[in-house]
């Protein structure tokens, strides 16, 4: 039986999101839809161990909206796998990704759909992401807010700059499904944070493939959502590993669209540039790095970026070894 086609699919990848999902679903229930768009919601349960499945089942049993709520289980852990599953299951022309702690404004879907129509060369676009904090953020938090997917870039649309890794986060990202299917591999190199594996960057990797295929990446100021930040995400135990993980993706991301002849230079520049940043940062802050959270976060990012060259090289060697084994039938 053929599934119905929709203008837009809202895809919500979630891991143990039972306590957070109801707030997102209620916001989606109250979307303003002046053009009567046909849209759907799909939940991608990324191997949760909590009551996520039951929460969605309870919602479905009382779901009287004219847009469906579907549930899919993706057992392979990692946000990259969950997003790929969402692309496979989505029936919309556009796929709008929400994290399970993203609360969209009432006109978010309408604004997303209209922007896609107005900008037909946009393979992906994102809007304004505002922080909704459980507790007051630390002093100078604005310096690292973008690392927590909090972004406001003003009131005018503009093109992002993929060549310099200036790209939007995956939270609140809207993609043209056909563009993604044609440009993004079903298995990306970066999988997202999984257990002790802390390397991030899976969002940027997908966008770089879209850019390579000729699609534009845009900022749409008319799309607003709130990103709920609980207390623990403002503590050192969470923030410093986050900074390292984002930093570790630096070199692998720069290599994706680089010409082979340019890769040695990128590798060296990544090392030297981050060594310089680490030394300057140490000279500037000294022992304050032990007590001040924001400078410590920045230092961890520089360290992760430095190590990203060796992380990329190590993975390149493993990839070449695997290719040789495959060719020899091992």
DSSP string, 130-176: EEEESSPPPTTGGGTGGGGT-B---SS-EE-BGGGTB---STT-EEE
- State the CATH number of the domain containing residue 136: 3.90.550.10
Helix (H, G, I), strand (E, B) or coil at 280: helix
User: What is the mean pLDDT of the segment spanning 298-324?
Assistant: 78
Residue 242 and residue 181 in one domain: no
Domain hosting 303: range is 238-327
Distance, CA of 24 to CA of 181 (rounded, Å):
26
User: Residue 46: what pLDDT?
Assistant: 95
As a 3-state breakdown, the chain gives helix, strand, coil percent values, each rounded to 5, of 50, 20, 30
Query: For position 195, what pLDDT does the model report?
Result: 54
Q: Could you tell me if residue 208 is inside a domain?
A: yes
* Co-location of 125 and 219 in the same domain: yes
Between CA 115 and CA 223 the distance in angstroms is 9
| Same domain flag for 106 and 246 | no
Q: Are 289 and 235 in contact (CB under 8 A)?
A: no
- Are 153 and 294 in the same domain? no
Residues 230, 243, single domain; the answer is no
pLDDT value at 321 more than 50: no
pLDDT grade for 326, boundaries at 50, 70 and 90: very low
**Final residue in a domain of this structure, among 234, 265, 294:** 234
- The answer to the question of residue 207 being in a domain is yes
Structural domain total, the chain: 2
Same domain? 100 vs 142? yes
- pLDDT band for position 188 (cuts 50, 70, 90): confident
> End of a domain among 184, 217, 234?
234
* pLDDT attached to residue 316: 72
Residue 133 has pLDDT above 60, yes or no: yes
Which of 234, 262, 278 is a domain's end point?
234
**pLDDT-based confidence at residue 325 (cuts at 50, 70, 90):** very low
pLDDT, mean of residues 111-119: 97
Q: Bigger pLDDT: 230 or 193?
A: 230
Co-location of 217 and 244 in the same domain: no
Predicted confidence (pLDDT) per residue in 239-272, tens digit: 999 999 999 999 999 999 999 999 999 999 999 9
Element (DSSP H or E) covering residue 271: helix 263-285
Q: Are residues 221 and 294 in the same domain?
A: no
State whether 67 and 39 are in the same domain. yes
Distance between CA atoms of 93 and 54, rounded to whole angstroms? Answer: 29
pLDDT band at 34 (very low <50, low <70, confident <90, very high): confident
- The 10s digit of each residue's pLDDT in 4-13 is 789 999 999 9
Based on the fold, state whether residues 178 and 292 are members of the same structural domain.
no
**Residue 31 is assigned to a structural domain of this protein:** yes
What's the pLDDT score for residue 35?
A: 77
Q: Are residues 194 and 130 in the same domain?
A: yes
Same domain, 34 and 161: yes
216 with 265: CB under 8 angstroms?
A: no
Domain-embedded: residue 205: yes
Residue 1 lies in a domain: no
Residue 62 belongs to a domain? yes
Q: What percent of the chain is predicted at pLDDT more than 70?
A: 92
């Amino acid at each position: 039986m053929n599934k119905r086609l929709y203008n837009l699919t809202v895809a919500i990848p979630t891991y143990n999101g039972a306590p957070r999902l109801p707030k997102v679903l209620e916001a989606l229930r109250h979307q303003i839809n002046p053009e009567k768009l046909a849209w759907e919601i799909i939940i991608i349960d990324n191997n949760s161990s909590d009551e996520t499945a039951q929460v969605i089942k309870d919602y479905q049993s009382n779901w009287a909206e004219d847009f469906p709520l579907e549930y899919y289980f993706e057992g392979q852990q990692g946000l990259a796998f969950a997003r790929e599953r969402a692309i496979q299951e989505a029936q919309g022309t556009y796929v709008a990704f929400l994290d399970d702690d993203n609360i969209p404004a009432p006109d978010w879907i309408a604004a997303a759909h209209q922007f896609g129509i107005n900008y037909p060369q946009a393979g992906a676009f994102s809007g304004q992401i505002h922080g909704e904090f459980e507790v007051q953020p630390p002093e100078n938090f604005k310096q690292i807010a973008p690392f927590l997917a909090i972004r406001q870039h003003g009131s005018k649309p503009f093109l992002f700059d993929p060549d310099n890794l200036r790209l939007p986060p995956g939270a609140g990202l809207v993609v043209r499904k056909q563009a993604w299917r044609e440009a993004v591999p079903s298995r990306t190199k970066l999988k997202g944070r999984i257990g002790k594996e802390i390397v991030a960057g899976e969002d940027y990797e997908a966008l770089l493939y879209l850019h390579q295929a000729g699609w534009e990446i845009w900022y749409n100021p008319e799309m607003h959502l709130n990103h709920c930040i609980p207390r623990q995400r403002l503590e050192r135990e969470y923030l410093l590993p986050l900074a390292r993980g984002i930093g570790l993706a630096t070199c692998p991301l720069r290599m994706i669209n680089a010409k082979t002849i340019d890769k040695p230079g990128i590798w060296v520049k990544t090392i030297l540039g981050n060594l310089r940043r680490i030394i300057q940062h140490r000279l500037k802050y000294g022992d304050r790095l032990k007590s001040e959270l924001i400078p410590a976060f920045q230092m961890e990012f520089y360290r992760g970026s430095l190590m990203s060259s060796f992380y990329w090289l190590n993975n390149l060697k493993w990839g070449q070894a695997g290719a040789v084994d495959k060719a020899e039938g091992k």
